[in-house]
A and B are shown apart, each in its own frame.
Chain A
Amino acid sequence: DTGVSQNPRHKITKRGQNVTFRCDPISEHNRLYWYRQTLGQGPEFLTYFQNEAQLEKSRLLSDRFSAERPKGSFSTLEIQRTEQGDSAMYLCASSFGGNPTDTQYFGPGTRLTVL
């Protein structure tokens, strides 16, 4: 396991459709984060898991967004009834909570385009 992986890398969908993204963290990492990055901006925090528990959600995460981490390993992020404003890069990161620096390592991202 060489790093955080995300699938798919690119997703093009029509407005109103549902999409689901997957993130596989570094295997020994117990913490998993989702961020969203729009063009020309820095990433913005969406949500955070420690093991399977979702402990924090940003107010950016509307009720059309849901994230899960059912077994404390991989995570999915689903967007229902997509809107054009959802077009962005969705980044996943993981960290080992027992490390004092709690450094977050990022995956390559999933770029979503909503037509």
Chain B
Amino acid sequence: GEDVEQSLFLSVREGDSSVINCTYTDSSSTYLYWYKQEPGAGLQLLTYIFSNMDMKQDQRLTVLLNKKDKHLSLRIADTQTGDSAIYFCAEIRYNNAGNMLTFGGGTRLMVKP
């Protein structure tokens, strides 16, 4: 299985809040990221959180980090149809050569009007 895990699918109604969850494995990761991918497109960086933080808010986005449980979540307030996409969490892993991102399998968010 993947080192970073996410649920596959989430469906919400327009205007509701969405919560996308992620568990990761590398306790030494210093930054954790959320990316958005629309059909046929590359990855768009949404937000990131430093590992010594519990929460970060950025407009409609709230990231919560539970380092003890290695659990990360992304809350989208007032979800819109334009938020329909696949959301990936990623952890950064360092080695002597540099950094690499390890991604979860993605959560497909469907927003119903």
A48 in the interface, Cβ–Cβ < 8 Å? yes
Contact between chains at A40 and B105 (CB < 8 Å): yes
Name the segment of B53-61, B69-77, B91-99 touching the other chain: B91-99
Q: Which secondary structure dominates chain B's binding surface?
A: strand
- When distances are taken between beta carbons in the complex, the residues of chain A under 8 Å from B45 are 103-106
Closest CB of chain A to B31's CB: distance in Å? 6
Contact between chains at B48 and A101 (CB < 8 Å): yes
Query: How many residues of chain A have a CB within 8 Å of chain B?
Result: 29
Q: Which secondary structure dominates chain A's binding surface?
A: strand
Closest CB of chain B to A4's CB: distance in Å? 8
Option from A55, A101, A107 in Cβ contact (under 8 Å) with B98: A55
Residues B34-85 near A (CB distance < 8 A): 35, 40-45, 48, 50
Q: A56 to B44, alpha carbons, bound, how many Å?
A: 24
- Residue ID in chain B nearest A105 by CB atoms: B45
- When distances are taken between beta carbons in the complex, the residues of chain A under 8 Å from B31 are 101-103
Q: A79 to B110, alpha carbons, bound, how many Å?
A: 35
Contact between chains at B43 and A106 (CB < 8 Å): yes
Q: A44 to B33, alpha carbons, bound, how many Å?
A: 15
Q: A45-B101, A45-B102, A108-B42 are in contact. List 15 more A-B contacts (CB 8 A).
A: A33-B101, A41-B105, A42-B105, A44-B103, A48-B100, A56-B95, A93-B43, A101-B31, A101-B50, A104-B45, A104-B101, A106-B35, A109-B41, A109-B42, A111-B40
Residues of B within 8 A of A (CB): 2, 4, 31, 33, 35, 40-45, 48, 50, 88, 90, 92, 95, 97-106
